[in-house]
Amino acid sequence: MNKDIVLLNIPNKSDYIGLVRLASSSISNKSGLNIDEIEDIKVAIGEACANAFNLSSRDSINIEFIIEDDKLTIRVSNAKEIISEDLENAKDRQLGILIIKSLMDEVVFNDYGIQMTKYIE
């Protein structure tokens, strides 16, 4: 089984979501996913990055793409599942989590951030 890993480290600025979405599109295409799956991943990763940008005080966000024969796993650092109701855009962030969970095959939040998986058929 082959396993390739692609790492991105971007500043904690929403200006870079387009770059992450473009990279995810290219990597998803290389993995053999179809156009609908690629679009799902682009939306999910955009939401995960927006979550990390809004909920982290760190200077940068790490995005890791793990490409395997049967799946593509994407990890985004600093993303959080628990959204404080006091946050200005709490409802948007909660909706973002629901969107991610509906578009990806597996979603796990942990101390690192979020791990999202799309299986390749």
Q: What is the CATH number of the domain that holds 49?
A: 3.30.565.10
Can you tell me the distance from the alpha carbon of 73 to that of 48, in angstroms, rounded to the nearest whole number?
Answer: 13
CA distances from 78 to 6, 67, 88 (A): 18, 21, 18
Q: What angle do CA 65, 11, 114 make, to 5 degrees?
A: 40
Could you tell me if residue 66 is left (phi over 0), alpha (psi between -120 and 50 degrees) or otherwise beta? beta
State yes or no: pLDDT of 84 exceeds 80: no
Bridging pattern class, strands 60-68 and 3-11 = antiparallel
pLDDT of residue 35 exceeding 80? yes
Give the domain range for residue 25. 3-119
The pLDDT score that the predictor gives to residue 55 is 72
pLDDT single digits (tens) 10-26 = 999 889 999 999 999 99
Name the band, by pLDDT with cuts 50, 70 and 90, for residue 81: confident
- Please state the domain count of the chain: 1
Residue 63: pLDDT over 80: yes
Q: What integer pLDDT is reported at residue 83 of this predicted model?
A: 75
* pLDDT 10s digits, 88-110: 777 877 889 999 999 999 999 99
Predicted confidence at residue 2, as pLDDT, reads 84
Q: How far apart are CA 52 and CA 46, in angstroms?
A: 10
Average pLDDT over residues 53-64: 86
pLDDT at 58: 84
